[in-house]
Every structure is written in C-alpha cells, then in structure tokens.
Amino acid sequence: MIQTIIHRLLRRRHFWRYATFDEVAELYASRVMRLLAQYMINMFVAVYLYQQGYSLLFIVAYYAICFAFRMVAAYFSAHFVARFGPKHGILTANLMYIPALVAFTVVPHFGVPAIAVFGFFQSISMVLNDLSYMVDFSKVKHVDHAGKEIGYMQIFERLTASLSPLIGGVVAFLISPEATMWLSAVLFAVASWPLFKTKEQVRTRQKLEFRHFPWRDTWRTIRAETAIGMDMVASNFIWVLFISIMVFKSTGNDLYFTVGAFASITVVTSFFSAYAFGRIIDWRHGGDLLRVAAIGNAMTHAFRAFVTAPVGVAAANITNEVATTGYSMAYMRGLFDTADRATGHRIVYLFFVSAAMNFGAFMGCILFVGLLVSGVSQQHAFQLFFILVAVYVLLPMTARFRLYH
C-alpha cells in the first residue's frame, strides 16, 4: 500500500529517470517502513536503560563500544554488498534487527548479556542497511535531479520520524516499552518486501578494489563525515538523555510519551524545508546551503547547553531539524556525486564514509565519557559536551565537492 501511494503521488515527477519509477518507489517504500520501525525504538533505548538503573557512564560507554564495532562491521558489510547487491543487504539488515529487539525485551531479566546481544545485532543491521541504501540510491538517482529526489526522500523520512516516536511513546505509555519492541519487529519483517519486485541495479559478485583509490578527491569528505557521526550521537542519544534527566525529570512510562511527542511535533518543521532545499541543490547552490546550514546546526548545539525548560527543548528541536535537513541534503548530494566520480570504487568509497561516520560517533561517546569521569557534575558534563560538539560539527564546511565548484 505504501509503495502504491508513493507511486501515484510522484510518478509524474519522475518521468525523466533513467531507472524505472518502480525502482524508486521500492526504495522509498522500503526506507519508510524501515525507519518507521527504527525511529519507534531508537530514541528510547538510552532512556530505557537509564530507567532500568544503568548509570549514564555505562550507557555512553556501551554506545562507544557499539560504534567501535560498527567501524569493523562496515568492512564486512561492504564485502557483502559487493557480493550480493544492496537489496539483499537491506533484506539481511532488516532481518538481523529482529533478534536485537527480542534480546532487548529481556534486558530486565538477563541484564548485560542481553544488552550485548542487542548491541551486536543492531550494530550489524544499522551498518549494513546504511551502506546498502547509499549504494542503491547513488546508483539509481538521476544526475540532474538528485537534489529533488533527496528532497522527496527527506520528506518521507521526516514524515516517518514525526510519527514513529509518537507511536512508540504512546505504545510504551499505554502498554509497555517491550510492546513497542514487538511492534517494531513486525515492521522490520515486512520492510524489505517492496524491494524485490525488480532486480538488483548494482552488479553483484564484485570484489572490493582498494588499489588506486582516489584519495585526493575524497579525503576531505571522508574526514568531514566524522563530524556527521558526532552530530548524530549528540542529537540522537546525548540530547535525549539530557532532556530526560535534566529537563523533564520523569521516571515513569509517561517520559516516553513526552519525549516522543516533542520529537514528533518539532520534526514537522522539516517537511516544508526539505522540498525547498532540494530545489536549491538542483540549482547548483548546494555548497552555500551546506555552509549556512552547518553554521545553524553548530549554533543549535551551543544553544542546547543552556536549555532548562520544555519551551527550550521545542526551540532547539525545531532549529535542529531545519539545519540538519539542510546540511545533510547538500552533503549527501555531493557525496553521491563523488561516488559517481570514483569509477570502480563506489562501494569502497561509501565504506570509508560509513567507517568515518561511526568513528566520529565513537569519538563523541569517548568525549562524553571523558567529561563524566573528569569530576564535573552531570549537568556541566552535558553543557561542555554540547559546546565542544558545536565547534566540531562545523567540519562539513571543509568538504570539497566538485559538484559545487
């Protein structure tokens, strides 16, 4: 049904594609269902662990280990995608998230071993899915209208992101957090179905070729990706913990509803900006958008350090959504263009991008761990973290995409 709706809405806008629209609709539909399941629970994992009695230091150290493991998993994921194709990578990734969710439902009974199993399967699923999606989208996009396509995908993603936390929060509040996990598992099980109405668009049985890799044209973008990883940790994990512990200060299931509702309401603001940003990118002004939005994102992180009330949470979430949508869309368009130019090295380049992002996320976790063990209070640790992140997330401005020059 989701694929049919997307097909009818956007078919006329994709008459110029080299690939058939069926392939685009498949990718859109599968991505929406995957993110619906993913966003439903990802925001609440850290909060759930905290409510189960695990310390802030333990939770952040756990994420640091996960991101370190994902750097290694990215290498094997790249080999998998080269061998079997990105569609089979997405299918495998979706199925591997299900045992992760099963493990998480038994955390109250089995403790750290269940958390470890959850982290293992979730990490592989996340890395394999992200790499497969980037390879697939970079291959089937239209060269002249990729900004608009990224805009459409961003609209669908933000729509999903606006609904999922609210749905997950309501289910957790009315039933239990574990019920949210089971609902998410069902969605993961069906998320790959739309993909296999057409064949793989990427040649399979490839071997990764690291020789003659175009480092001169790619090293700045790979380096900048570390800032995107740190930005992800700050927004998706540390910020959620901060508002849960320091602002809302609730210990019951109503906290899931509150956090989910704030995320859902504020993310709506990115709907309107995504389409406009897509057109700006196609008008060859993506470089300007990248710089302006990166500065806005940095200012948002700095502002977060001083949030003390729900109205501040809403303001920070709104500005973060608009800024992140802008810089990430411009960045992804440049990244896909670079992947096209890296002849014979598409998967290898996107592997380095994935590894760099997880390295940046790992650095973000280690930074926060260092602040926690330094002797400062929890509140000061949060504040110093956001201020330091505000400086580092300016790094995407240094990326040099030939598309924008």
**Mean of per-residue pLDDT scores for the chain:** 85
Q: Which of 345, 71, 70, 400 is nearest to 224 (CA)?
A: 400
146: pLDDT confidence band, cut at 50, 70 and 90?
A: low
pLDDT tens by residue, 66-116? 999 999 999 999 999 999 999 899 999 999 999 999 999 899 999 999 999
The pLDDT of residue 45 is 87
pLDDT tens by residue, 49-67? 998 999 999 999 999 999 9
The pLDDT of residue 12 is 45
Instruction: Please state, in angstroms and rounded to a whole number, the distance separating the CA atoms of residues 129 and 92.
Output: 8
Of residues 95 and 27, the one with the higher pLDDT is 95
Q: Which of 161, 70, 54, 182 is nearest to 124 (CA)?
A: 70
Share of the chain above pLDDT 90, in %: 46
202 is written with which tokens?
A: 């990427």
The pLDDT of residue 265 is 64
Share of the chain above pLDDT 70, in %: 85
The pLDDT of residue 193 is 79
The pLDDT of residue 215 is 93
Instruction: Please state, in angstroms and rounded to a whole number, the distance separating the CA atoms of residues 247 and 42.
Output: 20
The answer to whether 126 and 148 are in contact (CB under 8 A) is: no
pLDDT at 17 over 60: no
142 is written with which tokens?
A: 């239209």
pLDDT at 21 over 70: no
The pLDDT of residue 58 is 97
| pLDDT, mean of residues 177-193 | 84
| pLDDT, mean of residues 124-148 | 81
151: pLDDT confidence band, cut at 50, 70 and 90?
A: confident
The pLDDT of residue 19 is 39
pLDDT at 297 over 90: yes
Instruction: Provide the b/e sequence for 371-389 (b: ≥16 CB within 10 Å).
Output: bbeeeeeeeebbbbbbebb
pLDDT tens by residue, 370-404? 999 999 999 999 999 999 999 999 999 999 898 88
| pLDDT, mean of residues 39-53 | 84
311 is written with which tokens?
A: 């109205």
The answer to whether 208 and 79 are in contact (CB under 8 A) is: yes
Highest-confidence segment of 19-23, 221-225, 261-265? 221-225
Helices (H), 234-309: 239-242, 254-267, 269-280, 286-304
| pLDDT, mean of residues 285-305 | 95
| Fold of the CATH domain 19-191+214-404 | Growth Hormone; Chain: A; (1.20.1250)
